[in-house]
Amino acid sequence: MRRPWPRTLRCQLTAGLLLLLALACAAVGVTTVLALKGFLMGRLDEQLVASGGRFAASLEHESTPDADNRPDTRGQAEATFGARLLNGSVTRAAMVDDATDRPVPLTREDRRALLGVAVDGRGHRVRLSALGAYRVVATRGDDGDILLTGLPLHPVEETLHRLEAVEALVFGVALVATGVAGAVWVRISLRPLQRVTAQAAGVARLPLANGEVAMPRPLADTDPRTEVGQVGTALNHMLGHVEDALLRRHASEERLRHFAADASHELRTPVANIRGHAELALRHPGLVPGAVRHALERVESESRRMTRLVDDLLLLARLDAGRPLEHERVDLTLLVLNATDDARVAGPEHQWLLDLPEQPVMVSGDAHRLHQAVGNLLANARTHTPPGTEVTVALTQDGTGTRLTVSDNGPGIPEELQPEVFTRFVRADQARARSTGGTGLGLAIVRAVIGAHGGTVHVTSRPGHTAFVLILPG
| Domain ranges within the chain, ordered by starting residue | 51-152, 207-323, 328-472
* 223-247 b/e (C-beta count within 10 Å ≥ 16 → b): eeeeebbebbbebbeebeeebeebe
Question: What span, in angstroms and rounded, lies between the C-alpha atoms of 359 and 54?
Answer: 118
pLDDT of residue 350: 94
- Residue 54's φ and ψ, nearest 5 degrees, are -65, -40
pLDDT of residue 469: 94
Domain covering 207-323 assigned CATH 1.10.8.60 in the classification: no
Task: Say whether pTM exceeds 0.75.
Answer: no
pLDDT of residue 420: 86
Q: What fold does the segment set 328-472 form as a domain?
A: Heat Shock Protein 90 (3.30.565)
pLDDT of residue 366: 87
Q: What fold does the segment set 51-152 form as a domain?
A: Beta-Lactamase (3.30.450)
* 318-341 b/e (C-beta count within 10 Å ≥ 16 → b): bbbeeeebeeeebebbebbeebbe
Q: Do domains 207-323 and 328-472 have the same CATH topology?
A: no
* 3-state secondary structure string across the chain: CCCCCCCCHHHHHHHHHHHHHHHHHHHHHHHHHHHHHHHHHHHHHHHHHHCCCHHHHCCCCCCCCCCCCCCCCCCCCCCCEEEEEECCEEEEEEEEECCEEEECCCCHHHHHHHHCCCCCCCCEEEEECCCEEEEEEEEECCCCCEEEEEEECHHHHHHHHHHHHHHHHHHHHHHHHHHHHHHHHHHHHCHHHHHHHHHHHHHHCCCCCCCCCCCCCCCCCCCCCCHHHHHHHHHHHHHHHHHHHHHHHHHHHHHHHHHHHHHHHHHHHHHHHHHHHHHHHHCCCCCCCHHHHHHHHHHHHHHHHHHHHHHHHHHHHHHHCCCCCCCEEEEHHHHHHHHHHHHHHHCCCCEEEEECCCCCCEEEECHHHHHHHHHHHHHHHHHCCCCCCEEEEEEEEECCEEEEEEEECCCCCCHHHHHHCCCCCCCCCCCCCCCCCCCCCHHHHHHHHHHHCCCEEEEEEECCEEEEEEEECC
List all residues 6 or more positions away from 232 whose beta carbon is below 8 Å from its beta carbon. 192, 195, 196, 219, 222
The per-residue pLDDT string of the chain (474 residues; one tens digit each, 9 = 90 and over) reads 455 656 777 788 888 888 999 999 999 999 999 999 999 998 888 888 877 677 777 776 554 444 455 666 666 778 889 888 888 888 888 888 876 678 889 999 999 999 998 988 888 999 998 889 999 998 888 777 888 889 999 999 999 999 999 999 999 999 999 889 988 888 887 777 777 777 777 777 777 766 666 777 777 766 777 777 777 778 778 877 777 777 777 776 666 666 666 666 666 677 777 777 777 777 777 776 778 777 777 877 777 777 777 776 767 777 766 677 778 899 999 999 999 999 999 899 999 999 999 889 999 988 888 998 999 999 999 988 999 999 999 999 887 889 999 999 999 998 888 888 888 777 655 444 444 455 678 888 898 888 888 899 999 999 999 999 999 986
pLDDT of residue 64: 46
- Residue 349's φ and ψ, nearest 5 degrees, are -80, -10
| Torsion from C-alpha of 419, 424, 426, 428, nearest 10 degrees | 80
